[in-house]
Structure formats: structure tokens, C-alpha cells
Structure 1
Amino acid sequence: MVQTRRVRAGRLVALGLSTALVLSACAESQRGQNDQGGGGGAAKVGGTMTFATEGAPKLFDPFFATDGATFRTSQQIFEGLIEFKPGTAEAEAGLAERWSSTPDGKTWTFNLRKGAKFHDGTEFNAEAACYNFNRWYNQKGAGQSPAVTGYWQDNFGGFSDGAKPSLFKSCTASDPSTAVVELTSYTSKFPDILGLPSFAMQSPTAMKQYDADNVVQQGESFVYPAYGQEHPVGTGPFKFSKYDKANGTVELVRNDDYWGTKALLDKLILRAIPDETARKQALQSGDVQGYDLPAPADWDQLKKDGHKLLIRPAFNVMYLGIGQKNNAKLRDLKVRQAIAHAVDRDGLIKQQYPEGAKVAENFYPDTVSGWIGDVQKYEYNPEKAKTLLAEAGATGLEVTFYWPTEVTRPYMPNPRDIFGFIRGNLEAVGIKLNVVSKPWNGGYLEDVDQAKADVFLLGWNGDYNTPDNFIGNFFSDPNNRFATGSATWGAQLSAEIKAADAEPDAAKRKSMYEALNKKLKAEYLPAIPVAHSPPALVTSAKVSGLVASPLTDERFDTVSLG
């Protein structure tokens, strides 16, 4: 029997209507249906699919993760109270069948699905849900490092020690199938944030058994406990089987006790192949049946060769970050404007991005509320860049430029070539570069997050459809990777972003974000928005049932091999 999930009625809560809503069924989730992409025929059960990813997972505990490879794996193993409808950024029911809130948006009641169990046999109920919330909130020591719990801190703030304010207040199991979550304030992003992989439900039994929170910091690195390395336990349609760390290969097997429609595949293998050309060759040879992020230049040939190209909507942004902690000259707006005028964004997109990519003028796509076209534009103008540098007394400016290796991101299809293009732009206006390249999960993210870079390549693929998911994550902390706290306006920008997120009236909030987007480009300019790119994934012709997600939230339980 196909089990369906109740879908939220529209996006009323996410848009901040200040009335209590009990959300009931208005449509059915595509997830759990077995006829996607099957041409109307019965989907084949069984077999093993190998899918090539751009990198190896950092670990298997999504709460401690920030990388796409970990989330790719965890999205098959774990489920959240809220999920996202396949192919969209629309939140729908997950392990919570429905939910409601008080008029002030501070108290949320989640009615949980009955009959769901974790892979180790532990029952999923309100007590287990609250165990997860309390686990997140009660992190101590190394668990409070932004490099470890970045998603919690970006979305919920501080921890139970009270050192920093927290959005989360408490979780109470009022009965086995009802969890009540108390927040300290209204936020436009709740409950959608519960759909993030980081906030998936994990087995309390397994986390206790394998000491899930025993994270140890060694210098600037972190050592994670056995739970996150070898024993992840969720409720999802696939179970963790094994991991060959030497070649970055994860094996997942079907969860035959899954509460919903069972996965069609017997096994799903996720194999890390960092080089895009090597991923393509593996598909052509039949070693893999699909891979993520094919190079834009290969799209036409892949289709001609009979492969299926699935193109995601461009729900992302790449930016050229400007860190202000260590280089005082970068705190001068004229210097940051000079950098903006030095970058030929149109040329970069024509050379390095796929068809459908476009120049970014805001820090999020135009499908997100608050986007506005009437913002300060920075046309490509090397001479103006030189003039601004001279006016700022920064002729001969020297910066440390970081770019990442061993990664391909939805917004950054080829980091090496993108870096090379921008490097040429900056050097052409007299900026001297000290270049640092590090693996994405081998020091790059850590260094950038610790504000060691003056200029860096980074971006964001949206997690859910609110402005705060983009600019809130980027700029709400004045002491993050941009170190805007070193500028006089850092705290002001942070306060303005938090005020917009906390505004319950949707129309007022939209106006606040429009004003913020204008100021971000004209007055603050902590980074240069560069591009929105429609990333793709590709499979062999015999693969059916895979639904491309703008959130890169593809689930493989509906996949079959013809």
C-alpha cells in the first residue's frame, strides 16, 4: 500500500501569517510513489545503482556536517519532521504528519507519524524527537565550534549555556505522538528549517551507544566519534551498510522495515570521484549509472550519447567573498567597489557557466521574496576599478585569494577555471594576489569560516525558500567569514537582517528585505554576487524515477534500473 504524506497548505506559515494554522492535506507527496519516470510501466524492483559524487562525505552525522557529500548520503538514511516535496523547495510533511502554531509563532505543535522506527528498532515518537532537539541545544566544548555545528548556529543561534541567544527554548513530549516546540521569538524560517539534513531525526539509542557528541578538537581539526563515522541510524528508506574510506565509497541497503513505500533498489552505492572528467568516463564505461554536476560543456554530448540530463532550477548564488578581518584596506567601500568593477561577470558566465545561468544582482535568486532589480549595479569597468583604488590609496593592493580544490558545487561548476578567470580580472587592475588553494573538505572551508581569506570563492544552494536562508546565513553574524565586525556597519547589518526575519507581517517583511538588498549592494558590499547557475545531474538511459531538486535534495528510493 502506498503511504502518502500530508502537504502543507500553501506556504502560509513560511510567509509569516500571524494566525495559528493547522495544516492539512491538499496534495500528495511524490515521494513514495513508484511510477516516476517509468513511462507508465511497472517500476523494476532490485539491483544496485552506483552514483558518482564530487567528493567523499565528511562524516555520517548530518548535524555536524556542512558539506554536500555528507548530506547526499544522509538524505537517504535520515528523515526530518519536515521534508521538501520532490522537485521543489516546498515544505511538506515528513515524520510529522501535520503541525500548528500559536498566533505569535512561538509555540509549535507537531503531530507525529505513528509506526515509524529507526533502523535499530527504536521507536520514533515524541520522546525521540525531543531527544534530538535537546541534543542539538546542549552541545558543549568542541560541539560549539562553528566548524562543527554551523547549521545550528546559523539557524538557531546559541546553546543551553546561554553564552549566545538561541531561537530554541524547549521541546516537550505531551504524549507519544505529539511534540511541542517552544521558540524564544518569531522567525520566518520556522518550521521550514526542520527540513534541513542537519536537523533530521537520529536514533537516541544509537547516539547514546556510540557517544555521538564526543567531538574532540585537535589543533584546527576535529575528530568525530564512532557514531558519526560508522553507525548512523535514521528512519529512512536506506540503511547504512559500510564505508570504504580509502576510495570514498558508501554502500547503503534497502530498509525492508521502512514505514512507507520501500525503496526499489537493493543497494545504492555513492562513490566519490572528485574529477568531473573521471566521473564522465565512469558513466561512459558503465562503472557508474549516474553522477552529479556534469560540466556545462558536456551537456549536449551527454544527451547525444543517450544519457538522461536532469537540470535543476538555479536556486543558488556564487559570490566573491571579501574578508575584512586581516586586511584593513578592504574595509574601505571604494576598494570593495573597485573589486566589483574589476570582475567581468558576463564574460565569466559565457565562458564557464551553462546555458540558463545569469549574472547575480542580489544575494539570492529572483524567485525568493524581497528580490529587487533596482539595486546598485557594478558594470565591468577596469579603468573605474583602478580609479577607485587610487582614490582609496590602495594602488598596488595585495590580497590573499583562496579557491577550493576537490569539489564541484552547483553554483561553481569548475572552481579552478572560475578562479583563473577572476584572477586575471583582478591582476589586470593592479591587484596583487597571494594564492591559497586547499581541498574543500581539507582546510578550505575551515580557513574561510575562520576569516583567514581576504578574497574567496563561495556560494550557497538554497535550503528552503526564504531570504534569511541566503543573506541571514551569510551576514547575520558580524564576526563570521566576512568579519564585518571589523567594519563600523557590521553590527548594523546584522541587526537589520535579524529584524527582517522577525517581522511577522509578510508585506512589511518583503519591504524590509528589498531595502536590505539595496543597502547590501550600495552601502555594505561585503561580497560580490556573481552568478546564479542551473546545475545538472546525469544518469544512464536505464535509470528512471530520479527527480532533480532545486535544493540538490534528490532521494533515490524511487529510482529503478530498467
Structure 2
Amino acid sequence: MTLRYLIAGALLASTAVSPALAQDNTDITVVLSEELDLVEPCMATRSNIGRVIMQNISETLTQLDVRGDAGLMPRLAESWEDLGEGTWRFNLRPDVSFSDGTSFDAADVEHSFARVFSDQITCESARYFADTELSFEVVDDLTIDITAEPAQPILPLLMTLVTIVPSETPMEFVDEPIGTGPYVLSDRAIGQYIQLDRRDDYWGEQPEVTSARYVFRSEAAVRAAMVETGEADIAPQITELEATNPATDFSYPNSETVYLRIDSADAPTSDLRVRQALNHAIDREAFIGTLLAEGTDLAVAIVPPTTLGWNGDLEPHAFDPDLARQLLAEAEADGVDVSLPIEIIARTENFPNVAEVAEALTQMLTDVGFNATLRMVEVAEHEQYYSKPYPESEGTRLILAQHDNSRGDPVFSAFFKYHSEGTQSGIADPEVDDLIERATAATGDERSALWSELFAVVHDELYADVLLFHMVGHSRVSERLDFRPTIATNSQLQLSEIGFN
């Protein structure tokens, strides 16, 4: 199947638009590409959940300014200070209440982190702290000391990842999230919609949006059409093909990196030459301006170029199918069974044209001699393959995924993607482990240099994964709204940032 054929098929796909949804004044409708499988606050760092929950229902101690240059800003913590020896003191905002009427205090912060790290549930945000042990001391109701071991110089930035829940929240996933945010989940019809309504007793400034209904449509053309006809107000994710109206359509460099995660513990990908062959089999340039938008960058790291420690000396692995075939032949001559099956697992609606991209990748691997197949799965099933323990298989699996890092430091990516104990790592290398641990504890130029060295090792020496693209996002926004997408729009959509024209 050629790339041209895949693109043609993508352009023909569409479904009927459903009847109009009622809207009134400051009520809005948001049409998303995939439904939430969970409404659990500790999972809000996963993009499909974060778009609804993060900073709308549930808030964090700190937040990063992605619309200006204010950097790290207060949210539930008014201020913080470094007490030395790995301990930071956070001074909490007074007169804050949860949507159930209970008061927010330091005990809620301690409990929220206890849930994140509990062995009774598996929380997405825990992955970012996998190499750091945190301990807590409640000084008083509005003061809490948090100690990181080893010392974590950017601990306040890490606080942007954990949403705060009441102390009474059980150690299990919840269906009715309680938060301090400006909205409450008021209704949910699984498979149809989620409704958020504004709280009258919110501690902060009242947002202009009074309610938001989230609906789900898998086809980008349908999402774009719904905004055009007034059935929806925002489609955060459409394709370049639909982005034809300068008055409503916006492109923006987002913080997502698309890649294929390789498990180097499996045969045949345990052999370096096989991993090299995977990288040289892919014609990355062929996707840009066809299935992926113009402006998409070829990736050489798991993080975007705006990240600390970016290594400008790295080059994308060249498309060289003859070299890929040669590497496979050399591995086979040394006894590696290169005929073992390689299954690509991709998440439906993960990004625009994901199915067509996955099909083209599978074909490219097949063309150089890999026994490659493709399986598209929903988000919950994808998670079973994306995170440890990985299911056993004959041969191996390549996980097509999109990783977000909008916070500017590799600490939000490196450990769980590359450390031996990382929950989504496909390698186990002592040098990599050491680099990650030293970089995490370092500051200034040393921190930047260590991250840069790590990127070079995983890309040029280990071929740890198949890095593909730094993505460009496209959104359609109704002309009645005052809103522009940012680098964070794919992972969170703060309703408080939306105004009306």
C-alpha cells in the first residue's frame, strides 16, 4: 500500500454530523477526538483526560505560564522557598474550598501525593517522580514542607503535575472527581458527553464560560464542520486539511513528540543492528506535507527543541532502505531470527491521521524485510502495552505513541522513558541510568550538559527508539470566542482562558 493511497483514503473518510447541541450565551461545546476512559484526577497528565480535568475540575500547587513569560506561577500554593538539603516549603492559599464544600489545607496535599504513590492504584503522574522519594511534613494547615531524596532542584516545577484532591478521597479511581477548580463535573453520559458547570464558590476569579459540554467525534472533518455550523465552539484537534479558514483556524507548534518505543529486551530488537535497521527503514520526510502538517519537525529527541539541554548536533537517522536490509542480513548471519513478528500497536485518534501514519510505517518496515503488522487499539488497551509490565509476545511490539513535554525540562521525560526502572522504558543501560540520575540532581550549565549527553547516547549509540516527529497542532475556534491555542492545548484546555467576542 503506497503512501499516496493512504492519503487518498484519509481524505475520503467522513461521517454524518449529529443534530445541533443547544448553546446559550456563555455555554460552550468542545468537540474532542477521543472519549475519556477515566475521570480520575491523578490521571490528568494523560492528554485525553487532562483536556477536561486539569485546572478545570482539579488544580495543582503551581502552574506554568504558557501564554506569556511569567514562568512558574502560583496556583494552590501562593509561594514557596528552598530550605536546603532537598526540602522546599510551600505556603498554601487560604480560603479555598473543594466542590463538596470541604476546606483545602496541607493535609489534602499530603493525601493527594499518597494516592499518586499508592500501590493500590496506578496513577499517570507518579511516573514523573519515579527516581525521587518524597516525604512530607505538615507544618500547619496552610504550610507544608516537601523533601525530595535525592534533592530535586526543580521540585516546584514538578508540582505542576499532581492535582489536589480532598483527604477523604479513597485509594481507588473515582467516578465523581472533587476538586478546587472553577468547574464541577455535573453530568456524564458515557459514549456521548461530559458536562462541566461553573462553581459559584470558586476561590479565584470567575471564568466567563458558565458551562462546557464535551462531545466526541473521531473524524477531524466532522469536528471542523461542527464548529463551522455552530454545533460546537472549539475543536482542539483538526488536521491541516481542514484548517482552511483564517478567521477560525489556528496552527501552533505543540509539545508532542511521536515515536516508536522499542523494547530492547525482546528478540529480534535486542540486537543493535535490528534497531538501526528500524530507524533507517523509515522515510520520515515523506509524511510531512502529506499525512502530517507542513512545519512538522523531524525528531532527534523525545522532547521538543525548546527543552533544556537540547542537543543541536544530532541529526535524524537517514532513510536508507538498502542499509536497513544490509543490517538485517548481518544480524541474521550472526544467528538473530529477523523473521520474528514485529507488531506495531497504535492508539486510535492519538493524533490526526494516526491510522494512516501507522499503516505507512508498517509498510515501510515490511518493504525492507521486517515481519511487521499493525493493530489499532483504544486508549485503555494501548496503556497495557505502553507501560510496564509489558505483555509477553512472540517477537516484539513497537508502540506508536505521542509524548508531551511542555514544561521545558527533560526531567519530565527522561526517567520513565529511558531509565532501567522507568515505567515506559525499553532499555536498561547503566550509563543512561547514571546520566539521568546526575542530570536530575544537577543545576545550571551542568544540568543542561548532562541532558544533552543523554540525548546523544540514546539516539546515536543505543538507537533506543524510533524517534519520528515534533508535531504541529491545528485547532478550529468559533469566531464568537476569544481564545488562541498554545503549546499546551493538546494536553490541557483551561476554560478560564476562554473569553467571548
TM-score band w.r.t. shorter chain: 0.7 to 0.9
Q: Which moved more, 1:275-284 or 1:46-55?
A: 275-284
Q: Do 1:451 and 1:483's aligned partners in 2 also have CA atoms closer than 8 Å?
A: no
Question: 2: distance between equivalents of 1:478 and 1:124?
Answer: 34
Alpha-carbon shift at residue 339 of structure 1 (Å): 1.0
Question: Which residue in 1 is equivalent to 2:212?
Answer: 268
Deviation at 1:187, TM superposition (A): 2.4
- 8 Å contact 2:132–2:150 — kept in the other structure? no
The answer to whether the 8 Å contact 1:239/1:253 transfers is yes
Please list the CA deviations of residues 337-380 of structure 1 after superposition, one character each: whole Å capped at 9, or x if unmatched.
11111101111223222122111122222211111122364211
In 1, are the aligned partners of 2:30 and 2:232 still within 8 Å (CA)? yes
For structure 1, the residue ranges without an aligned partner over 5 or more in a row are 1-44, 158-164, 215-223
Q: What corresponds to 1:484 in structure 2?
A: 427
Does 2:436 align with 1:497? yes
Shift of 1:240: 1.3
Give the drift of 1:243: 0.5
Q: State the shift of 1:529 in Å.
A: 1.1
* Contact 1:86–1:547 under 8 Å retained in 2: no
- Checking the alignment, whether the CA contact within 8 Å between 2:482 and 2:500 is kept in structure 1 is yes
Give yes or no for the alignment of 1:63 onto 2:7: no
Choose from 146, 150, 165 the match for 2:124. 150
Name the aligned partner's letter for residue 112 of structure 1.
Answer: L
- One-letter amino acid of the counterpart of residue 284, structure 1: E
- Normalising by structure 2, we get a TM-score of 0.87
Q: How much does 1:86 deviate? A: 4.1
Aligned CA-pair RMSD? 2.3
Q: 1:39 — aligned with what?
A: none
Residue aligned with 2:137, SS: strand
CA deviation profile, 1:403-439 (whole Å, cap 9, x unmatched): 3343233xxx321111122122111111111332211
| Other-structure match for 2:21 | none
Q: Which residue does 2:16 correspond to in 1?
A: none
2-side partners of 1:514 and 1:341: how far apart? Answer: 23
1:182 corresponds to which of 147, 150, 153: 147
Select which of 372, 375, 392 maps to 2:331: 392
Does the C-alpha gap of structure 1 residues 333 and 512 become closer, same or farther in structure 2, counting only changes over 3 Å?
same
Determine the structure 2 residue equivalent to 1:202.
Answer: 165
Q: In the alignment, does 2:320 pair up with 1:347?
A: no
Which residue number corresponds to residue 76 of structure 2?
95
* SS class of match (1:384): helix
1:50 to 1:302, Cα distance in 2 relative to 1, 3 A = same
Whether 2:499 is the aligned partner of 1:536: answer no
Count how many residue pairs are aligned between Structure 1 and Structure 2: 467
1:556 — aligned with what? 495
Amino acid of the residue matched to residue 97 of structure 1?
A: E
Query: For residue 203 of structure 1, what is the amino acid of its counterpart?
Result: P
- Is the contact between residue 545 and residue 558 of structure 1 (CA under 8 Å) also seen in structure 2? yes
Cα distance change, pair 46–382 in 1 and its aligned pair in 2 (3 A): same
Q: Which runs of 5+ in 2 are unaligned?
A: 1-23
1:213 aligned onto 2:178: no
| 1:414 and 2:372 aligned | no
- Which residue matches 1:77? 57
- Aligned with 1:116 (options 73, 83, 96): 96
CA distance in 2: counterparts of 1:545 and 1:436, whole angstroms: 37
Residue aligning to 2:6: none
The 5 A counterparts of 1:225-264 are: 228-229=174-175, 231-247=176-192, 249-264=193-208
In 1, the alpha carbon distance for the partners of 2:401 and 2:296 equals: 17
Q: SS at 1:484's partner residue? A: coil
Cross-structure match for 2:302: 363
Structure 1 residues 67 and 274: alpha-carbon distance in aligned structure 2, compared to 1, 3 A threshold: farther
**TM-score when normalising by structure 1:** 0.78
**Percent identity between the two aligned chains:** 20
